[in-house]
Copies of this chain bind each other. A is one copy, B any other.
C-alpha cells in the first residue's frame, strides 16, 4: 500500500531511463511504451470530449433566456453525471458486450464479467465512449429548453444513455446489422449527433413551442434571443476545442498519419461552416448574425464527423460550407413548420448529421480529390441513417408520449412565464439581476 514518494517515482524512472544501460532489457519495452502512449492519447481525447459538456452547458445557457439559466445548467450537470453512471451500469455492455443477433450486447455491465479483462486501454476506451453517450443525450437538452419539467428531462437522459444510444451503438460500432452493411460513420455524425437530433426533434414536437414563439395571428416565428452571446460563443469554442478529441480520438489507435489528417479535416470543416454561415446571414439579412455563425461552426463539425478520416481535404472544406448554409436554412424550415427548437440543436446535429453521413457516400476518397464510394456505400449510408431515425424516433416517441400522458412533460404556464429557475430550483440563475 505504501507508495513511493512523488519525487522518488520520478527519480527511479530517471535512473531507469537515463542512468542504466540495462534499461532497454529490464525497463520499458517498445510494447509497454506503445500501450502506455495509447492510453495517454485516449486520455487526451477523453478529457477533450468531456469539456464539450461545459461547451454544451454554456452554449445552451447563453442562447436561452436569463430566467431559465439555472434550469439549463442543472440539466447539463445531470446529463454528464447520470450519463457516465448509466453508461457504466448498462450502456457499455448493451453496446459492446457479446452481441445477440446483431441487435444488442449482453454482458460487461458495470465493467464486470468473464470476458472483461482490464488492462488500461479498455478502461480509457470506456471513459472516452461514456463521454460520447452523454453527448448524444445532451443534444436533446437544447431542443426541449425553457419548457420541460426537470424530472422528465432526468428520465430522458437516463433512457438516452442507458438504452437509446447504446442500441444505435450496438448496431454500428458494436458490429451489429448496420455495420454489416458497410456503413461508414467515423466519429458519429449519425451515431451520436443524429441520434441526439432526432430525440430532440421528437421532444420538441411532443412539448410544443414556448409561449410567444409563434405569433398567434400569423403563426410566424418570432426571434427569442438568448441572454448572453458571450456565454454562447464560449460554449461554441469549447465544443470546437473538444471536437478535436471527439474526432481525433476516434482513430482509437496511435496512428500518426490518420490522426494528423483528421485534425486538419476537422479544423477546416468547422472553419468553413462558421464562415459560410456568417457570410450567408450577412447576404440574406444584411446583418452579421453571430449566433448563426456559431451554429455554422458546429454544423461544419457535425458535417465532417462521419468522414473526417475518409474525405479529401478540399472536400472537408466543401462539406463545411454546405453545412454552414444548410443549418441556417434548416432553422428557418423548422420555424416554418412551427417546431420550436430554442438553440437550433435539431438543425445542427440532426440535419447536418444526415448531410455528413451521406457526404461520405458521395465524397469518400482513396487518394484523389473526389471519389464516390460507389452505390453500395451510398446505400449503406442511407439505410444506416434511416435505421437510426426509425429506432430513435420510435423509441423516443414512446418515451416522450408516456411522460406526456402522465402529465409530467411540460411545466405550467405560470412557471414557464416566470422562469423555470425559481419554480424548479428555488433560486434564479442571476439572483441580483431584475427579472425581465
Complex CA gap A244/B231 in Å reads: 24
Q: Determine, out of A199-207, A335-343, A393-401, A419-427, the stretch whose residues face the partner at the interface.
A: A419-427
Tallying the copies of this chain within the complex gives 3
Tell which of B54, B78, B183 touches A293, judged by Cβ atoms closer than 8 Å. B78
Q: Which residue of B lies closest to A62 (CB)?
A: B230
Looking at A8, A32, A256, A430, the one whose CB has the most chain B CB atoms below 10 A away is A256
A10-B121, A118-B261 known; A429-B228 Cβ under 8 A = yes
Complex CA gap A375/B268 in Å reads: 44
A54-B234, A81-B275, A261-B118 known; A223-B427 Cβ under 8 A = yes
- A182 at interface, CB cutoff 8 A: yes
Tell which of B14, B172, B244, B313 touches A50, judged by Cβ atoms closer than 8 Å. B244
Tell which of B24, B35, B62 touches A17, judged by Cβ atoms closer than 8 Å. B35
A14-B122, A120-B261 known; A30-B30 Cβ under 8 A = yes
CB of B125 within 8 A of CB of A253, answer no
- A123 at interface, CB cutoff 8 A: yes
A6-B173, A36-B254 known; A261-B425 Cβ under 8 A = no
Complex CA gap A7/B263 in Å reads: 18
CB of A84 within 8 A of CB of B268, answer yes
Which residues on the B side are within 8 Å of A48 (C-beta)?
47
CB of B36 within 8 A of CB of A255, answer yes
CB of B122 within 8 A of CB of A260, answer yes
- A165 at interface, CB cutoff 8 A: no
Which residues on the B side are within 8 Å of A47 (C-beta)?
48, 241, 244-245
Tell which of B41, B127, B179, B184 touches A5, judged by Cβ atoms closer than 8 Å. B179
